[in-house]
Amino acid sequence: MPRKPVSFKQADVSRAVKGVKAAGVPIGRVEILPDGRIIVCSDAPAAPEPVSAFDTWKGKRDARKA
């Protein structure tokens, strides 16, 4: 059974990895899908959700009750 032509090149993967590193994002793993898509996954924790002024006030108020 003959092989299918490769849908990506090493240069494509290198370019994607260099771009992610240049953006300052740590790389956890690289996935290459059969259709040629290259997915670069970060191992960085998700950014915390911004806290609103109301949530801050409510947290302080509830802390005094305890």
19 lies in which domain range? Answer: 1-45
Domain count, the chain: 1
Q: What is the pLDDT of residue 65?
A: 65
Write the burial class of residue 33 (CB in 10 Å: 0-12 exposed, 13-18 middle, 19+ buried).
exposed
Q: What is the mean pLDDT of residues 46-57?
A: 80
12 in a structural domain? yes
Would residue 55 count as lying in a domain?
no
Is residue 66 predicted with pLDDT exceeding 70? no
Query: Is 58 a member of any domain?
Result: no
> Model confidence over 8-46: pLDDT tens digits?
899 999 999 999 999 988 999 999 998 889 999 988 777
Average pLDDT of span 47-64:
81
Please check whether residue 21 lies inside any domain of the structure: yes
C-alpha to C-alpha distance for 2 and 59, rounded to whole angstroms: 64
Helix (H, G, I), strand (E, B) or coil at 60: helix
